[in-house]
Amino acid sequence: MDPRQAEAAAAMAAMVQGERAALARLIALYGPGIRRYAAQILLNAAEAEDVAQEVFLRAWSRATSYDPAKGAVSSWLYRIAVNLCIDHNRRGRFRRFVGIDSVAEPEDDTPGAEAELAARQRLALTHAAIRTLPERQRQAILLKAAGELSGAEIAAALKTSEGAVEQLLVRARAALRARLEKED
C-alpha cells in the first residue's frame, strides 16, 4: 500500500471513531482531485465545489459504511463523487427553467404520411430480414440492438467469447445489409 493510501486508510479509521481532524486529512488528500473531476463533468466551478463538499459530508456521515475489503478509500470517495455528479446532471436538466416567451416556436419537422409509410415498410423489411438470420447471429444482433448490451455482456449471455460475438455481429450486419439492398 502506498503512503497516500495508508494515510487515507488511517484517516478513515479515525473518522469512524468520530475524529473531525481525520475528515480534514481526507479533504487535503482527495479534495483537489474530486473538485477537478466534478468541474470536468459539470462544467461549472461553483457546482463542482458544491459537489466536492457534498462528497465529504456524505463520507463523514457514512464513514461506518466504508468497507476496506471492497476497495481503497479513494475509490469509495470517487464513487460518491460519480454518483453525485450523475444526480446533479439529472436534476440540472430539469432545474433550468426558461420562460415560454423566450423560446422560439419549434419548426414542424414531423414526417409526412409518405415518409412514415416508407419508414414502416423499411422497418418491416428489417424485421423480416432479422428473422432469416441464423439463430446465433439473430440473438447477437438483437442483444446488441434491442438490449443495448456490450460485447462482453452478449458473450456472457450467449456463453461464448467476445471475439465470437464480434464475428456473429459482423456476419449478421453483412447479411442484413445484403438482404435490404436486394429488397431496395
Q: What's the pLDDT at 97? A: 44
pLDDT, position 27: 95
Give the pLDDT confidence score for residue 11 in this predicted structure.
Answer: 94
Q: Say if pTM beats, i.e. exceeds, 0.75.
A: no
Check if the beta carbon of residue 152 is closer than 8 Å to that of residue 159: no
Kindly list the domain boundaries of the chain, sorted by start residue: 3-94, 115-183
Q: What is the pLDDT of residue 98?
A: 43
Q: What is the DSSP string of the chain?
A: --HHHHHHHHHHHHHHTT-HHHHHHHHHHHHHHHHHHHHHHHS-HHHHHHHHHHHHHHHHHTGGG--GGG--HHHHHHHHHHHHHHHHHHHHHHH----GGGSPPPP-----HHHHHHHHHHHHHHHHHHHHS-HHHHHHHHHHHTS---HHHHHHHHTS-HHHHHHHHHHHHHHHHHHHHHH-
Q: What is the mean pLDDT of each run of 10 residues along the chain (184 residues)?
A: 84 93 94 82 81 94 91 85 84 51 53 78 84 83 71 80 94 92 82
Instruction: Kindly compute the dihedral angle of the four CA atoms of residues 79, 82, 84, 90, in this order, to the nearest 10 degrees.
Output: -140
> Under a CB-based contact definition with an 8 Å cutoff, are residues 74 and 8 in contact?
yes
CATH of the domain spanning 3-94, picked from 3.40.50.970, 1.10.1740.10, 3.10.580.10, 3.40.50.2300: 1.10.1740.10
CA distance 157 to 50: 41
CATH assignment of 115-183? 1.10.10.10
